Structure 1
Amino acid sequence: MSTYVSKEIRDELNAARLAGLKKASRLRVLVGEEYYTVLRLWRDGFAVEDDSVPALRGLVDLYDGGRHMYQCLIIASEPEAGERHYEFKRNTAAVDKAPLDHYRAPEAPMGLLPRD
């Protein structure tokens, strides 16, 4: 039995795999004003589709749906199997409120009730 697969069939299988990853992913990367679908995310980086996404560099924002997850400084690697991988140089978690500038005791009251 031969395991040879022609280039056309290999390209079609790869396109179907990328389309499935793209459809299932909620992750997006924001560069300037444009959003691009993230195919996969791991601890040290992420992958996007090589053909439809321009070369990214510098500071980008990662979103899960509408939730801002990370602000990242990225560097690119070589494309592989229709994907371009990016590695994090810096990856900072996004927060929705400003950090406290003083220590708050866990048992401290959250507020004061008025006297009536």
Structure 2
Amino acid sequence: MTDFLPKEVLAGLEEARKRSIRERSRLRVRVGTEIYPIIRFWDDGFALDADQVAHLRGLVDIYDGTRHLWQSLIVASEVEAGELICVMKRSTAALDRAPLDYARDENAPVGYLPRL
């Protein structure tokens, strides 16, 4: 069927497909002030639209909507079939509190009552 369609129509269909994937995905990667939607995500990497970004390397933040999920280190990226494939060396879960520098006793009291 694609043999009979003009090139302009094929380009429009491809652009509409990419736009729907970007709008459907809630995962985003933030590099400095730039934010790019993630097309696909797997254990040690993710794919971005190669039309938006040509090369990506270094420390990035990954969000699900507005919720910060991970801070990741990208060691390699290459373009394959219109997607920028990024490989992560490490991915650390983002916490909403500072990490403890000691082991917390599970039977420790939550708080203290004042003496009256």
| TM-score between both structures, scaled by the size of structure 1 | 0.83
CA distance in 2, matches of 1:107, 1:18: 52
2:109 matches 1:112:
no
Deviations 1:44-103 (A, max 9, x none): 1111111122421111111111111111111102322x2211111121111121211222
Counterpart of 1:55? Answer: 55
How many residue pairs match? The answer is 112
1:70 counterpart letter in structure 2: W
Q: Does residue 24 in structure 1 map to residue 24 in structure 2?
A: yes
Counterpart CA distance in 2 for 1:87 and 1:58 is: 11
Q: Does 1:79 align with 2:86?
A: no
Q: Output the aligned Cα RMSD.
A: 1.9
% identity of equivalent residues:
47
Look up the equivalent residue of 1:78 and give its one-letter code: V
* 2:69 aligned residue: 69
Greater than 2 Å deviation, 4+ residue runs: 4-17
Aligned to 1:46: 46
